Structures are given as structure tokens and as C-alpha cells.
Amino acid sequence: MSSLQRFLSASAASWAKILLTVVTQILLVPVFLSHWSVKVYGCWLIVQTVVGLASLMSAGVHSYAGFEFLKIGDRKPHESRRLFYSALPCLLLVSTLELAVLSGLIYYGVIRGVFDADRSIDATLLHQAELSLVLYSVCWLVASSAGGLAGRAVAPYGYFPRMTWWAVLLALLQALATATPEASA
């Protein structure tokens, strides 16, 4: 695949993912609200927001490592390996710290205050939201630390378009997984 083809494929995949994300977010709101109460939907939105905020530091390390992989290029695989194995423990540490901070905020009741400032939400729903936050963070630690770094490591070798199309497929599957239980309820 030529450089131009890779560029066009990656651009098309990036735009497809953006379009898919916008369309699914708009189309899923009525599905959610027809099966969830406003409080459950609000908790779901807060979970999504807190997960995004909680993973900012490791996302920053991913971005930095990705740019470093691009600077190294495909002509120095030994430097790419060194960067990968140097960045991996750092990412695991940062992701573990993010999980620890989130767990601490849950333990000390800070997250409960974020979800339920006026104390009107059911305790079971709050517990489920807190559990969701921990599960999201554990999944980020396990899957995205090494997997995200590996995806960035192969980008200089011409695999960026393929990885971007995989991200489009993942976004579609996430939207379907989110909507499917609700649509069948």
C-alpha cells in the first residue's frame, strides 16, 4: 500500500469513526431514555465522563509515546523496542495510579457526592455506578495500557490505517453492545 493510499485510508477511517460516534450518540439517547429513568441515564453519563477524566494521564503518555514512535520511524526497530519496553512500565504505573485514585475517591465518598449531590438516588444505583467505574478502570489498565502502546508502536510501519479501521469496528461494537440489552428490554 502506497503512502497516499495509507493516508487516504486512515483519513477515511478517522472520519468514519467520528461520524459513527456522533450518529450513535444521537440515535442511542432515545433508546436509553425509553428504557432508563433520567437518574439512571444521568449516572451513565457521569460514569462515561469520570472514566474519560480518570484516564487523561495515561492517554497523555500514550500520545507522547505515539509521537516518539513516529519520530523514530520504521528504520530503527531496536529504538522502537527500547521505547516500547520503557514506556510500558510507565503506562502500567500511571494506569494503576489512576485506578488507585479513583478507588480512593469511591472509598472516601467523593464519587458518591458527584453522582448524588442532593441525596436522591437509590443506593443500589450508586453502588452499580461505582462498580462500573472500577471495572472500566481495570479494563483500561489491562487492555489499553499494553494494547494502546502496541498500536502506536506499529503506526510507523504502515499499520496506522488498519489500526484505525479496527477502532471504527470497536466503536460500532461498543454502540451495539450498549444498545442491544436496552433494545431487547
Give the pLDDT of residue 100: 95
Q: DSSP label at 1? A: -
Q: What residues have CB less than 8 Å from 152, skipping those under 6 apart?
A: 62, 65, 66, 69
Q: DSSP label at 122? A: -
Give the number of other CB atoms < 10 A from CB of residue 84: 18
Confidence of residue 183 (pLDDT cuts 50, 70, 90): very low
Task: Provide the Cα torsion 161, 167, 171, 173; round to 10°.
Answer: 110
Query: Above 50 in pLDDT, residue 86?
Result: yes
Give the pLDDT of residue 44: 85
The one-letter code for the residue type at 20 is L
CATH 1.10.132 correct for 45-175: yes
Query: Above 50 in pLDDT, residue 150?
Result: yes
> How far is residue 171's CA from residue 177's CA, in Å, rounded to a whole number?
10
Q: DSSP label at 156? A: G
pTM of the model: 0.79
Q: What residues have CB less than 8 Å from 102, skipping those under 6 apart?
A: 50, 54, 111, 133, 134, 137
Give the pLDDT of residue 99: 93
Query: Above 60 in pLDDT, residue 47?
Result: yes
Average pLDDT, the chain: 88
85 compared with 180, residue with greater pLDDT: 85
46-51 mean pLDDT: 88
13-37 mean pLDDT: 88
Query: Above 80 in pLDDT, residue 30?
Result: yes
Q: What are the structural domain ranges in the chain?
A: 45-175
Confidence of residue 185 (pLDDT cuts 50, 70, 90): very low
Helix spans in 36-144 (H): 38-54, 56-72, 77-107, 110-115, 123-139
CA atoms within 13 A on the CB side of 49: 9
